[in-house]
């Protein structure tokens, strides 16, 4: 058995470098966490417990995670926006008897013990002792039904993180979701710093703060990056490394980022809460090399079954929590990602979610495939394709389109967009109509909102 690692180790190792985790409203000085605490005397009451972490501020979340790793038996990372009903439901499923919260009042859920995560930090009464392999529990970001709780450990979460010292990271993600948590852990393990957004903060404000902090590495979804390019504030940062994940990175966004950040290395990563980090693609082309499928001896094994990608690696989550929870992987340990992949020659391309397919006259349409075509049109800066119910044809394919600056939202523009789609898509896939919108709805996870 390899020796267990705890987050506090990377606090100690990175000491003396003025590392911080900063939101708009708060700065967490990491050096100080060796001898100071946000949880106070309550920290010892959480030892060996299963803890629901429900805090509003991401610097509080970071402090609590660092302090609880190795101390709590289990930590459930709840999104800031969760109401007491959802918190309690998660607490029951995760058999949590404790709660960590910030702000004035604890959420009213039934737990035996509630601890406040408070700033400024207070001196720690005794040296930190980390002893448990804490289970990290993340809700799935599924868009339908109640979220499932996915169980990871620090070992599964950090399996893809290589030695990369002293990076100054920024992310548009919430660090309590899988994509953001990866960046939080990268910053900690690389003895670097991290700057993150605050709830409701505009992308321009984030970019200004990221730029002032001199960030070198930055991560977000393609939707986040389209917003950056549309914001007019993208020049505020000058990163060495730009990472896209969480959604399909299409050719137009990759080449737009290449043109905008000529100095940066650009990668699109493929990961999910259940399957963990699968791979990162660095050749700035959409999709990934087909030879990665069924290559023997890789750390991450891939296969395509029924058109969807299956993954097996030591970065996959251990299991779902809950009495009637389904199995996370098949009998051979492969996780079904639900992401549809199509092989064309020596490249594989992501087509969309299996559950997101639109049925149209018996034919299947992946909204993401249509969006890729839309986004490649000169007039279009971002798009969202969806099905609208129709009493005539059953469904109609509509596209919400954000135009580039200076393009008129008129019938002539709509005609140009529809014609370009018809020229490049199968007749059933081409949108029937375009709606011009100022902005696209985004989920808390930074992805295009496809429901509601």
Partner 1 sequence: MSMRDTILNEMRAIATLHGKRLPELTDGLPLSESGLDSLCFALLVARLEDILDRDPLSETPNARFPSTVGEFVALYEEAVA
Report the interface residues with partner 1, using CB under 8 A.
Answer: 388-393, 396, 398, 411, 414-415, 418-419, 432-433
Residue placing its CB nearer to partner 1 in the complex, 223 or 383: 383
Q: How far is the CB of 395 from partner 1 (least distance, A)?
A: 8
Tokens linked to 229:
């390019």
Using the minimum distance from each CB to partner 1, give the nearer residue, 228 or 397: 397
Residues in the chain: 452
Rounded Cα distance, 229 and 188, in Å: 28
State the minimum distance, in angstroms, from the CB of residue 383 to partner 1.
17
Alpha carbon 288 to chain centroid, angstroms: 20
Q: What are phi and psi of 429, to 5 degrees?
A: -90, -20
Rounded Cα gap, residues 272 and 282, in angstroms: 18
The nearest distance, CB 376 to partner 1, in angstroms, is 20
Between 212 and 393, whose beta carbon lies closer to partner 1? 393
Cα–Cα distance measured from residue 374 to residue 423, given in angstroms and rounded to the nearest whole number:
11
- Paired tokens of 101: 């919260």
CA atoms of 277 and 281, how far apart (whole Å): 12
Alpha-carbon Rg for the chain in angstroms? 22
Q: How many angstroms separate the CA atoms of 384 and 192, rounded?
A: 36
Smallest gap from Cβ 154 to partner 1, in A, equals 51
CA angle 384, 386, 387 (to 5 degrees): 165
CB of 390 to partner 1, least distance (A): 4
Output DSSP code: residue 292: G
Closest to partner 1 by CB, 189 or 374: 374
Using the minimum distance from each CB to partner 1, give the nearer residue, 418 or 444: 418
Distance in angstroms (rounded) separating the CA atoms of residues 207 and 211: 6
**DSSP one-letter string for 355-422:** GGPEEETTEEE-HHHHHHHHHTSTTEEEEEEEEEEETTTEEEEEEEEEEPTT---SHHHHHHHHHHHH
Closer CB to partner 1, residue 388 or residue 404?
388
The SS3 of residue 198 is coil
Give the containing element (helix H, strand E) for 236: none
Q: Which is nearer to partner 1, 389 or 451 (CB)?
A: 389
Q: Which is nearer to partner 1, 280 or 387 (CB)?
A: 387
**Considering beta carbons, is residue 146 or 394 the nearer one to partner 1?**
394
**Which residues lie across from 400 on neighbouring strands?**
384, 435
- Nearest approach in angstroms of CB 387 to partner 1 is 11
Structure token digits, residue 401: 């389109």
CB-based burial of residue 449 (10 Å sphere; 0-12 exposed, 13-18 middle, 19+ buried)? middle
> Residue 64: helix, strand or coil by DSSP?
helix
Q: In the complex, what is the shortest distance from the CB of residue 370 to partner 1, in angstroms, rounded to a whole number?
A: 15
Q: What CA–CA distance (Å, rounded) separates 155 from 159?
A: 6
Q: What's the min distance (Å) between Cβ of 393 and partner 1?
A: 4
Q: Which is nearer to partner 1, 359 or 419 (CB)?
A: 419
215 Cα distance to chain centroid: 19
Min dist CB 378 to partner 1, Å, is 19
Q: Which is nearer to partner 1, 396 or 444 (CB)?
A: 396
Closest approach of partner 1 to the CB of residue 396, in Å: 5
CB of 421 to partner 1, least distance (A): 11
- DSSP code of 33? G
């Amino acid at each position: 058995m390899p020796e267990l690692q705890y987050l506090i180790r990377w606090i100690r190792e990175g000491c003396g470098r003025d590392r911080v985790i900063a939101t708009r409203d708060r700065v967490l000085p990491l050096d100080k966490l060796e001898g100071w605490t946000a949880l106070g005397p309550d920290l010892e009451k959480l030892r060996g417990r299963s803890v629901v972490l429900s805090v509003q501020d991401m610097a509080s979340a970071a402090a609590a995670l660092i302090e609880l790793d190795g101390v709590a038996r289990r930590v459930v990372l709840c999104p800031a926006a969760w109401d007491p009903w959802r918190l309690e439901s998660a607490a029951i499923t995760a058999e949590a008897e404790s709660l960590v919260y910030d702000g004035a009042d604890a959420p009213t859920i039934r737990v035996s013990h509630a601890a406040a995560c408070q700033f400024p930090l207070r001196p720690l009464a005794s040296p930190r002792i980390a002893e448990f392999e804490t289970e990290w529990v993340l809700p799935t970001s599924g868009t339908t039904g109640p979220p499932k709780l996915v169980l990871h450990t620090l070992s599964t979460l950090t399996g893809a993180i290589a030695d990369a010292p002293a990076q100054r990271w920024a992310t548009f993600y919430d660090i309590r979701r899988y994509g953001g948590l990866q960046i939080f852990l990268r910053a900690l393990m690389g003895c670097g710093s991290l700057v993150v957004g605050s709830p409701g903060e505009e992308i321009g404000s984030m970019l200004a703060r990221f730029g002032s902090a001199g960030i070198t590495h930055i991560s977000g979804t393609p939707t986040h990056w389209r917003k950056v390019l549309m914001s007019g504030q993208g020049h505020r940062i000058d990163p060495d490394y730009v990472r896209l994940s969480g959604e399909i990175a299409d050719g137009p966004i990759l080449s737009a980022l290449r043109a905008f950040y000529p100095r940066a290395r650009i990668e699109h990563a493929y990961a999910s809460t259940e399957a963990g980090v699968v791979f990162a693609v660095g050749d700035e082309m959409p999709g990934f090399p087909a030879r990665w499928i069924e290559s023997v001896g890789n750390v991450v094994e891939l296969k395509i079954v029924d058109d969807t990608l299956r993954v097996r690696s030591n970065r996959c989550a251990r299991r779902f929590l809950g009495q009637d929870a389904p199995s996370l992987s098949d009998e051979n340990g492969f996780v079904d990602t639900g992401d549809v992949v199509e092989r064309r020659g020596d490249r594989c391309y992501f087509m969309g979610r299996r559950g997101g397919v639109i049925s149209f006259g018996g034919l299947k349409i992946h909204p993401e495939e249509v969006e890729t075509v839309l986004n490649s049109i000169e007039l279009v800066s971002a798009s969202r394709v969806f099905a609208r119910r129709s009493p005539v044809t059953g469904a109609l394919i509509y596209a919400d389109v954000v135009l580039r600056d200076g393009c008129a939202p008129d019938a002539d523009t709509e005609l140009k967009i529809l014609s370009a789609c018809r020229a490049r898509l199968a007749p059933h896939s081409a949108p029937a109509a375009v709606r011009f919108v100022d902005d696209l709805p985004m989920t808390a996870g930074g992805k295009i909102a496809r429901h509601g």
